[in-house]
Amino acid sequence: MFKNNALDLDDVSITSLDSLDMQRILPAYKWVILFNYAILLLTSNALIFGFYQLEDEIAFQTQLIVYAIVNAVIILLLGITLIGFKYRKYALRDHDIVYESGWLIHNQVVVPYNRLQYVNINQGLLMRKLGLGTIVLHTAGNDREALKISGLDYEIALKIKTIVADKMAITFTNIDDHTDTLNTTENDGI
Amino acid sequence: MEYNFTSVQRQSVVGILVLVLKIVVKFFRAIGFLLLIWLFREYEFILEYPIYSLLAVFGIIALCLFSGFMLYRNFVFYIDEEEQAFVLRQGVFRKKQSIVHFKNIEQVNLSQGVIAQALDFYQLEIETSASAKAEITILALDEPKALALKNTLLAYSGKATIPTAQHIATEASDTIKISNARLLLASLFTNYANGLLLAFAFLFTFWSQLDDLFLVGDYEDDIFDYATNQTYDKYLIALLVFLLIPFVINLVRYGVRYFRYQIGMKREGELHLEYGLTNLQNRIIKTGKVQQIDIQENFILKKIGIVFLWLKQISVLDGKKNQGMIHMPGLTKPEAEVILTQWQEQATKIKETAAVYRPHRRKILMRMIQRSLLLLPIGAVLLYNQADLPMVVWGIYALVSLLMYSVPALAYRNERLYITDGFILHQYGIWEITQSIMPMYKVQRVTYGQKAWHKKHGLSSLVIANAAGSIDLHVYDITVIKALRDHLLYQVSAQPKDWLS
């Protein structure tokens, strides 16, 4: 029978996420961020330039103001992203995977392994040069990814993928029969 | 449902409508011809005093509604067991009482005219041996009540036995029917904003299609000239008519899409739905796939006793998309509770045992600041162009600002978070109050968030996602949010349960 009592939110037997040691992502990923922003800067400026070539009745002063605003906003965003870089952390626990990020707006996403549908690793051209990888986790129902960690060492990303896939398989059958297996798997921060 | 006809009974609420219609017909029969002649002669009067004419029309409508309501209130019937008779009392000023003794009852008939069929009610007639015409006519009863009354009367008169009535009662209990009358009421009093948006969209497309409709060039200036040269009364009328459009749109939308809504619950864990006028839908819903149920009501619907249900199913499964959202409009509260219990046994009892939390008051402030970010720049632009602007624009700006600034406070007043061992219930809204219910074992992902400016006040947010929707909690106390986050993760992992069950 399913119980339905008022919830005691001060239950100390539940381990809190606050006491968790978390891993930072690799600093090399900053290059990827810089590269992406460079492309963004180039394309947006090119677009504005192209637009002004077609519409020739706009005063030069107005053009300059638009350029200034667009570039200032992009550079501001880049600044915030770079400051927020050290807040990008992840951890694997026995039963779930955690990723947090953000400086002004801090977010922490947690997905239990037994809710995962599939895992994959992405690697762009620059990331391959730097030996980085992005791990993407999907749950059911949502079109977009549930959790995404960019800027992992590629080897570690592969390791995480194996561990997560393992745990997905286990938790789909019966968690109680496999408690021992779970505890022996190396998973503390990798 | 059980009916006790020994106590005083009334017709179904839709009876008011039928009575009003009867009055209107009577009214037009009496003076309709004269009215038509008068209109034909004096139509200039209407064009000259449109406001008064409109007021007169509204006055007549109101009078009809009121007399219909009074007639409805004063139409009561019951079974007098001592006298062994059926008693009917009617009339507002001139009271009339009819008594039919059971032994005289020859026949009890149920019938449905065109209107009755459309609105799902029955007319009940009692025929006696005394006269050839029906002795008693009850205009409007909903199906279960009509059947129950018929069977009770037949049983008392010795024409049938009681068990038949009980049989019908049990058969009705595993099917819920949303009567068209209730659908009508429900569609009138909800989603006004949606209807208004649709009306705007319609107006906009109409405007942009004008080019194709009239091939002459200067019409836009003509229309503009025409529009600016009208008196304020005409603007007011146009506005009133426009504000009525959403009611009509909703009426048609709901009437066509959800016509004859039936929910069958003959098998455990399944809901068999059937509805639609032009496009008949026949669907089987596995209750396990429903991840979240939203219950929606507003002040008026609450008074009538009607709620709306939104069943959120998993939207993508095995890469295949299915129609995720199921809408049940115009359920009564007990019916909604039956559906909820079919889904999760404990779902109706959450509020009884739950711990209750509210967001922090700063939420109002934060929302107001957010709105200022939009409103202040607009104000600045208006100020910059002040010279060309008529006062009306400032009036509209002030009104919109007032509305937008009052929303956060109202929203705060209604927001509640209920937590039990197995469920989260989030209540929110301004006019339409929604209660989202999510069983904890269906949680897929938890996102805990904190904004830099909330840190020193100890506030944070939590987005709890399931496979079909989410519950978003913003600006709550950090201890509550963290404890809830940890508890959810604990529940999902330590007591795993198939989230599709």
**Do the Cβ atoms of B489 and A96 come within 8 Å?**
yes
Ranges A41-50, B26-35, B386-395, most confident: A41-50
Partner residue facing B486 (CB), from A2, A17, A142: A17
B218 falls in which pLDDT band (50, 70, 90)?
A: low
Non-local CB neighbours of B272 within 8 Å, separated by 6+ positions: B262, B263, B264, B265, B266, B282, B283, B284, B285
Interface with chain A: mutation pick from B437, B440, B492, B495, highest number of A CBs within 10 Å? B492
Structural contact between residues B181 and B130, judged by C-beta atoms closer than 8 angstroms: no
Structure tokens belonging to residue B496: 């795993």
Q: Which of B193-197, B385-389, B473-477, B496-500 has the highest mean pLDDT?
A: B473-477
What residues of A are in contact with residue B483 (Cβ under 8 Å)?
9-11
Give the tokens for residue B211: 């080019």
Are the C-beta atoms of residues B91 and B151 closer than 8 Å to each other?
A: no
- pLDDT tens-place string over residues A125-155: 899 999 999 999 988 766 567 899 999 999 9
Query: What rounded mean pLDDT belongs to chain B?
Result: 83
Residues 6+ apart with CB under 8 A from B378: B397
Q: How high is the pLDDT of residue A100?
A: 93
Tell me the per-residue pLDDT of B412-438, one tens digit each, with 9 for 90 and over: 999 999 999 889 999 999 988 999 999
Tokens, residue A145: 């990814």
Q: What value does the mean pLDDT take over residues A39-45?
A: 95
Alpha helices in B74-218 (DSSP H): 114-119, 143-156, 163-173, 180-188, 192-213
Instruction: Please report the DSSP string for A39-67 in residue order.
Output: HHHHHHHHHHHHHHHH-TTS-HHHHHHHH
Q: For residue B189, which amino acid is it?
A: F
Angle, vertex CA B304, rays to CA B299 and CA B305, nearest 5:
90
Distance (Å, whole) CA B481 – CA B449: 10
The answer to whether residues B428 and B434 touch, using CB atoms and an 8 Å cutoff, is: yes
| Tokens 């529940």 -> residue | B491
- Measured between alpha carbons, how far is B331 from B333 in angstroms, rounded to an integer? 6
- Tell me if A110 and B465 make a contact (CB, 8 A cut-off): no
Note whether A132 and A154 are within 8 A (CB). Answer: yes
CB contact under 8 A, A9 and B447: no
The predicted pLDDT at position B454 comes to 93
The packing angle between helices B232-257 and B50-73, to 10°, is 40
Give the closest of A17, A105, A112 to B492, CB-based: A112
pLDDT of residue B100: 84
Q: Which of A103, A109, A114 sits opposite B445 (nearest CB)?
A: A109
Q: Is the pLDDT of residue A182 over 50?
A: no
Q: What's the whole-model pTM score?
A: 0.69
* Among candidates B349, B468, B489 on the partner chain, residue whose Cβ is nearest the Cβ of A110: B489
What residues in A contact B444, CB-CB < 8 Å? 111, 115, 139-142, 146
Enumerate the residues of chain A whose CB falls inside 8 A of the CB of residue B480. 9
Confidence of residue B402 (pLDDT cuts 50, 70, 90): very high
Band (pLDDT 50/70/90 cuts) for residue B323 is low
Q: Mapped to the 3 state alphabet, what secondary structure does B421-436 carry?
A: CCEEEEEECCCCEEEE
Cβ pair A141:B466 closer than 8 A: yes
Query: Contact A17/A98 with Cβ under 8 angstroms?
Result: yes
What gap in Å lies between CA B349 and CA B154, rounded to an integer? Answer: 40
For B85, phi and psi rounded to 5 degrees? -145, 160
The pLDDT of residue B167: 40
ipTM of the complex: 0.81
Residue of B nearest to A4 (CA): B421
Closest-approach residue (CA) in chain A for B500 = A140
Residues of B with Cβ-Cβ distance to A109 under 8 angstroms: 445-447
Specify the 3-state DSSP secondary structure of B98.
strand
**pLDDT tens for each residue of B98-117:** 888 887 787 777 777 667 77
pLDDT value at B210 more than 70: no
**DSSP secondary structure code for residue B150 in this structure:** H
Pairing of strands B433-439, B423-428: antiparallel
CA distance B384 to A128: 53
Decide if B444 and A14 are in contact by the 8 Å CB cutoff: no
Give the amino acid at B232: Y
Tokens of B79: 């079974």
B366 touches A at CB < 8 Å: no
Predicted pLDDT at A8: 62
Helical segments of chain A, H only = 29-54, 60-83, 125-130, 154-173, 179-184
In this prediction, residue A190 carries a pLDDT of 34
Give the model's confidence band at A179: pLDDT under 50 very low, under 70 low, under 90 confident, else very high.
very low
Residues linked to residue B428 through DSSP beta bridges, in sequence order: B434
Give B194-217 as a DSSP string.
Answer: HHHHHHHHHHHHHHHHHHHH---S
Chain A residues with a Cβ under 8 Å from any Cβ in chain B: 2-7, 9-11, 14-18, 94-96, 102-115, 139-143, 146-147, 171, 175
Measured between CB atoms, does B484 come within 8 Å of chain A? Answer: yes
The tokens for A23 are: 């891993």
CB contact under 8 A, A17 and B482: yes
Asked if B346 is an interface residue toward chain A (Cβ–Cβ < 8 A), one would say: yes
Which has more pLDDT, B42 or A74? Answer: A74
- What token pair was written down for A171? 């938790």
pLDDT band at residue B316 under the 50/70/90 scheme: low
Q: What b/e string do you get for A91-129 counting C-beta neighbours within 10 Å, with b at 16 or more?
A: bbbebbbbbbbbeeebbbbbbbbbbbbebeeeeeeebee
What the block records as the tokens of A183 is: 């505890």
> How far apart are the C-alpha atoms of B377 and B382, rounded to whole Å?
9
Of B315, B346, B448, the CB nearest to A2: B346
Query: Residue B160's pLDDT is what?
Result: 54
**Amino acid identity at A80:** I
Helix, strand or coil for residue B79? strand
Cβ atoms < 10 Å from Cβ of B394? 14
What would the two tokens of residue B305 be?
């006793």
CB A118 within 8 A of CB A53: no
Contact B447 A139 (CB under 8 A): no
Going by their DSSP bridges, the two strands B416-419 and B355-357 should be labelled as antiparallel
Q: What is the rounded CA–CA span in Å between residue B350 and residue B293?
A: 13
How much is the pLDDT for B205? 76
Q: What is the rounded CA–CA span in Å between residue B32 and residue B21?
A: 14
A23 contacts: CB under 8 Å, gap ≥ 6: A89, A90, A91, A189, A190
Query: What is the C-alpha separation between A10 and B481, in angstroms, rounded?
Result: 11
Nearest to A141 among B467, B485, B487 (CB): B467
Question: What are the tokens at B279?
Answer: 């496009």
Q: Can you give the pLDDT at residue B106?
A: 73
pLDDT surpassing 50 at residue B174: yes
How close B369 comes to chain A (CA, Å)? 16
- Cβ–Cβ under 8 Å, residues B353 and A5: yes
Residue B7 has pLDDT above 50, yes or no: yes
Integer Cα distance of B291 and B288 in angstroms: 7
Let me know: does A97 contact A113? Beta carbons within 8 Å: yes
Angle at A13 between CA A9 and CA A16, to 5 degrees: 70
> From CA B144, how far away is CA B55, in angstroms rounded?
40
